[in-house]
Structure 1
Amino acid sequence: MKKKRIVWKVFAILMMVALCALLLGYGTMLLWNWLIPELFAGPVITFWQALGLLLLCKLLLGFPHKHHEGGWAGKKRKWREHWEARMGHMTPEEKERMKDQLSRCMGGRWGGWKSPREENPGDNENKDEEQPKN
């Protein structure tokens, strides 16, 4: 009795895999044949070419991993933890100096980059005036 259940489960899994491959291949073929020839004057493909295209994309772009940590949200969290740990060891003066350097480099939160000439306009006033020729 137990062997029949295992055989049935294996058969059901194989049928689900086959059905998914059929649907993905057919859907890819329909989308390709609907869009590519019209937009780019490309070729029309068959079902087997569509399955090959899907397999090629998965090989080139990779397969999902179970230990994936939430895409951009996970990367943002790791970045924040890294900088909080790094700035946790700084003195208040070092933190303020770093924030000042970043704001000069980045131009504040929403501003653009400022050249050194824009930061100290009084230093370069004499250089712009015409020098008398001797």
Structure 2
Amino acid sequence: MNYRRKGRRPRVFLFVLLGLLAILLFGWIVMLLWNAILPDLLNTKQISFWQAVGLLVLSKILFGFGPGGKPHHHKGPSDRLRQKFRNMSEDERKEFREAWRQRCGQWRRFPNQE
């Protein structure tokens, strides 16, 4: 008997149920915010709950589901570049820095750094 798969169905069901509840909750929040702010501000009509859920789903399709997978922010040099820089001799480092200065200009982390 495969005991690993035995507990998987309730977890999947719970995950789907929580996802559905989250969509409904966010739809309700979107409806409340829309109806509280936009009719007075932009002279729009109030929306129903299902219109709010549709608007939420449409915005997720158009604008994405948030950061996931690859990071969107540059966090400095990669580990491969750091390792390459550590293995260079002093002369190679000077040549490397000079090549980057010619490519990228005089970008400095601190004003007094050369």
Q: TM-score range by the shorter chain?
A: 0.5 to 0.7
1:95 counterpart residue number: 96
1:69-88 alignment, distance < 5 Å? 69=70, 71-72=72-73, 75-76=74-75, 79-81=76-78, 83-84=81-82
1:3-18 alignment, distance < 5 Å? 9=10, 15-18=17-20
Query: What TM-score does the superposition give when structure 1 sets the normalisation length?
Result: 0.50
Q: Which has the larger radius of gyration?
A: 1
Over 3 Å counting, the alpha-carbon distance change for 1:94 and 1:12 in structure 2 is closer
Over 3 Å counting, the alpha-carbon distance change for 1:50 and 1:94 in structure 2 is same
Identity %: 30
Give the AA of the match of 2:82. Answer: E
Give the RMSD, CA atoms, in angstroms.
3.9
Matches of 2:43 and 2:67 in 1, distance apart? 36
* Greater CA drift, 26-35 or 41-50: 41-50
1:120 counterpart residue number: none
Give the AA of the match of 1:21. Answer: I
1:50 counterpart residue number: 52
**Structure 2: gaps spanning 5 or more residues:** 1-5
Deviation at 1:50, TM superposition (A): 0.5
Deviation at 1:106, TM superposition (A): 4.3
**Structure 1: gaps spanning 5 or more residues:** 112-134
Query: What TM-score does the superposition give when structure 2 sets the normalisation length?
Result: 0.56
